[in-house]
Amino acid sequence: MPDFAEVADGLRMPLVDAMQTQRAVRRLRPDPVDDEIVLELLRLATKAPTGGNLQGWEFLVVRDPDAKHQLARLNRQAWSLYRRIARSRARGDLAQARILAAVQWQADHLEDAPVIVVACLHGRVWPSSMGKASFFGSIFPAVQNLLLAARAVGLGATLTTLPLWSRTLARRTLGLPAGITPCAVVPLGWPMRGGYGPNTRRPVEEVVHLDRFGNRPYLGAPTAISSE
């Protein structure tokens, strides 16, 4: 399996290419992933902003088979409930059906991912809406950096939250003190299939509003940067 020196060049890929091709890569090979690669990805993750620059993050790099098995169990428990809703929503939609098949594959094999990163924050979720935004807003930029860096080196990754359906059980599994909140779980591994490629999103002109919600003068305007 490649070491850091072999994949480091990937980090020089144009940002726009990384953003346009970063997507959930769930089918992962069990082959090992070098610690140096994981550490470099996390170094880049921690270049993200946090509220008040508090940097109250902690990242668990889970390689222990028992801990991975427990996370996989938690994921399966949540998925067994959520899957019913997702399947009825996806009825007749081929693209959604493909995603659900990948999520099912991940649920069946999560413990085989060589590395599972759990992104955590000091403190607990604050009750107010501003509090919640500031709290989770202080970890997801770092998680997105991690996903982009993984994409750049060709390492498969997915942002997941299903394994965190019970914070108590997740805390117990990972030995987290009560003051540390797990926020995202990112399995990492070399892709089993092609891996990354163009992601599909709603057109920007459709989701941008000028001054007031509903005023969408950009509808129909050409996009400035696009490789699709």
Q: Rule CB under 6 A: which residues touch ligand FMN?
A: 23-24, 26, 99, 103, 106, 158-162, 199
CB-based contact 150:41 (threshold 8 Å): yes
Return the number of the residue (38 or 75) whose C-beta is nearest ligand FMN. Answer: 75
Return the number of the residue (39 or 89) whose C-beta is nearest ligand FMN. Answer: 89
**DSSP E strand boundaries for 54-189:** 57-62, 115-122, 156-157, 180-189
Return the number of the residue (103 or 117) whose C-beta is nearest ligand FMN. Answer: 103
> H/E/C letters for each residue in 153-214?
HCCEECCECHHHCCHHHHHHHHCCCCCEEEEEEEEEECECCCCCCCCCCCCHHHHCCCCCCC
Return the number of the residue (199 or 215) whose C-beta is nearest ligand FMN. Answer: 199
Shortest reach from residue 187's CB to ligand FMN, in Å: 9
CB-based contact 74:169 (threshold 8 Å): yes
The whole-angstrom separation of Cα 210 and Cα 222 is 16
